[in-house]
Amino acid sequence: MIGLQDLVTLPFRRVARLRHTRVFHPDGAWFAGTFRPAPRFKTYFSTEDVEVRLSKGTSTAGAARDVLGLAIRTIDADGQRWDFALATTLGRFLLWPSRSWRDARYSSLMPYRFDGETLRWISAHPDGAQPDGCGVEAMVQHVRTQPARFELTTSGIGGTSEPFAELTLTGPLNPASDAPIDPTVHHPAHVELAPGWVTRIRQWAYKGSRQGSGRALQN
């Protein structure tokens, strides 16, 4: 008998096998970066050095519009991997294609609960120097010549935002691991995505994508 987990996992596994790549944001590039948390959030992180992947969600050609992804791989205060995955949205929840890296507005889609506190979404806004269009290679060339900066903010249900971190991409990177970013697995024990049932469905979808593309979950 097929359970709920299989009903989610199997379709994503099959799509990844047909495409011979991950389902989510297959086209992208990695960058080295620095992540400087706002004072309130400094205690959650143990390093400013991060690995960042910018990506196109649906593999549109060249500079064509797409849902853009901003994924961050960092280390929490306990020395464990912590993944963030943001995508361009209309508002907080609706995935939305951006017309350029410069105009992209990213959201975590799901809110985080820090230490049992109020739910808070994470958003990111790029600096105005980033390229027009959504070509991944254009972004790579841009970062070869100058840093690319993002302001990360966090906001609760009421919408009032406060600084979360400053992110700067300092150069292209060939990471030691190209393991897919998975915020449903890699996060501190006292920080969680909410609601839990949506997190589980998202986790099963990621699992199916990894299985179909032949990518094992890595620490």
pLDDT of residue 212: 75
Domains of the chain, by residue range, sit at 24-193
pLDDT of residue 177: 72
Task: Give yes or no for a contact between 54 and 69, defined as CB atoms under 8 angstroms apart.
Answer: yes
pLDDT of residue 219: 47
| Mean pLDDT by groups of 10 residues along the chain of 219 residues | 71 65 76 97 97 92 93 97 97 93 97 91 96 96 97 90 97 83 94 92 78 63
CATH architecture under which domain 24-193 falls: Beta Barrel (2.40)
SS3 assignment for the chain: CCCHHHHHHHHHHHHHHHHCCCCCCCEEEEEEEEEEECHHHHHHECCCEEEEEEEECCCCCCCCCECEEEEEEEEECCCCEEEEEEEEEECCCEECCECECCCCCEECCCCEEECCCCEEEEEEEECCCCCEECCHHHHHHHHHHCCEEEEEEEECCCCCEEEEEEEEEEEECCCCCCCCCCCCCCCCCCEEECCHHHHHHHHHHHHHHHHHHCCCCCC
Spatial CA neighbour of 134 closest among 64, 85, 71: 64
